[in-house]
Structure 1
Amino acid sequence: MPSKLAVDNVVSKLPGVHSARIVYDESGEMVEIHVLADITKPAKQLVRDIETAIYASTGIKIDRKIVSIAQISLDSNDEDEAVVRPYQKEEVQGYNFQLTSLETRATTRRLDITVVLDYDGKELEGSSIVDVGDDEKYMAIVESTVAAIREVIPSFRIEFIEKLEYGMTEIVMAVGSSLVNGKRKREAGARLCKKDSLNDFALVVLEIINKI
């Protein structure tokens, strides 16, 4: 069986792919493939390329459904004009969660984070607490956003989230899932991180849930 690193390298070196993370189960079988790519190719073509590359290099035929792709364009020099285009594998229901506010309150020992969402006129609130010195306080924002969403969709969760470096820019990429018709449906999202903006971590979560 080829090494996990070898498979990661095959996918990462495909034209248009900026980074790839492959999740394996206990038996070593690929169960999730998360890819951040540019928009030079249609997402469906990129999925076929990934399937072909893995089969050609390893002899393993994957199920296309395990591939999640987020596409990002940096055609503009202005980060605010950059575009993120997540791959949609099928029609979505079209939830409409909107970020109303994100509030942080710091004391000498802890940081309280409260996220308020609007869902069709209904106010939803989620909160989380983190040590004030924790460098990964963005996870508390994600937890707060998920907690608010779960008031409406209890099965929703974030399965993967990571900050990536792309040149001088930071990108947050995430994968979330929820039960749809009794089956867990997964979607990916990605956003460019503006300087000192914590909102992006809440917004990438909303991007995902609004596609499920």
Structure 2
Amino acid sequence: MADAPKEIRLAECENLIKQIRDVISVNIVLGDNKEIEEIHILAEDTRNAKQLVRDVETLLRVEYGLDLDHKKISVVQLKNEQKLLQDKRVKFTAIQYSLQGSQLEALVELTSDKRSCQGKSCGVNSSSNRLRLFAEATLNALNDFLDSGTTVFLEDVVQYPMGRRNMISAALTYMQGPSEEYLVGSALIKQDEKEAVVRATLDAINRRIPIDI
């Protein structure tokens, strides 16, 4: 009798797939039964996408005893010039928080291809305010990446159900000189709502900020 498939630990599995040659980033979607529903891969275009899919299938079979339908694996490949733009985007690298009585201090670290910056925000640790603190810490970290005359501030951040999953959306106002733009970003809550807040905030702003490289 064949062994039962090994339990999928999301972060561990994503990190393993990232070790495959040419893979840049991975997003795995699990169903309610904790089985893999979808795998989305961002990769360089130096190899055929079908070969990348076969590599993922082999890894899952060897590491987890799982035979996954190749139709559940999607691959997007970046050309060299797209890869350069991807490398220059601000990325989320760390999140921390501390509690003292009813006060929560959120700390978020963001990194570009050349430097890292940290942002903090402190306030009441209420269910309605907690998400705002992590969004504000993210924007405070972004300040060091912005050109002079550019300002980004938080309008709102909310959590809501979508289908069988929960989402975070962040609404921002982006001002550069006299111009003003309303931005909205969203992120799926995988395991931690705090990380989803950071990712939703970056989803809104990451393609628009003029990064000081």
TM-score (norm 1): 0.51
Which of structures 1 and 2 has the bigger CA Rg?
A: 2
Residue number in structure 2 paired with 1:135: 127
How big is the alpha-carbon RMSD for the aligned residues of Structure 1 and Structure 2? 3.0
Structure 2 residue 110 is matched with structure 1 residue 117 = yes
Q: Which has the larger helix fraction?
A: 2
Structure 2 residue 194 is matched with structure 1 residue 202 = no
Q: What residue ranges of structure 1 are gaps of 5+ in the alignment?
A: 1-74, 84-92
TM-score (norm 2): 0.51
- Going from structure 1 to structure 2, the CA distance change for 1:175 and 1:79 (only over 3 Å counts) comes to farther
> Are the aligned partners of 1:188 and 1:208 in contact in 2 as well (CA < 8 Å)?
yes
The one-letter amino acid paired with 1:139 is: R
Higher relative contact order (Cα pairs below 8 Å, separated by 6+ residues): 1
Q: 1:166 pairs with 162, 167, 185, which one? A: 162
- Going from structure 1 to structure 2, the CA distance change for 1:176 and 1:82 (only over 3 Å counts) comes to farther
- Going from structure 1 to structure 2, the CA distance change for 1:102 and 1:191 (only over 3 Å counts) comes to same
Q: What residue ranges of structure 2 are gaps of 5+ in the alignment?
A: 1-28, 41-84, 209-213
Q: 2:145 pairs with 145, 149, 152, which one? A: 152
Give, in angstroms, the shift of residue 197 of structure 1. Answer: 3.5
Give, in angstroms, the shift of residue 80 of structure 1. Answer: 8.0
Matches within 5 A, 1:1-212: 77=31, 81=38, 96-132=89-125, 134-136=126-128, 137-153=130-146, 154-180=150-176, 182-212=178-208
The alignment of Structure 1 onto Structure 2 pairs a total of residues equal to: 129
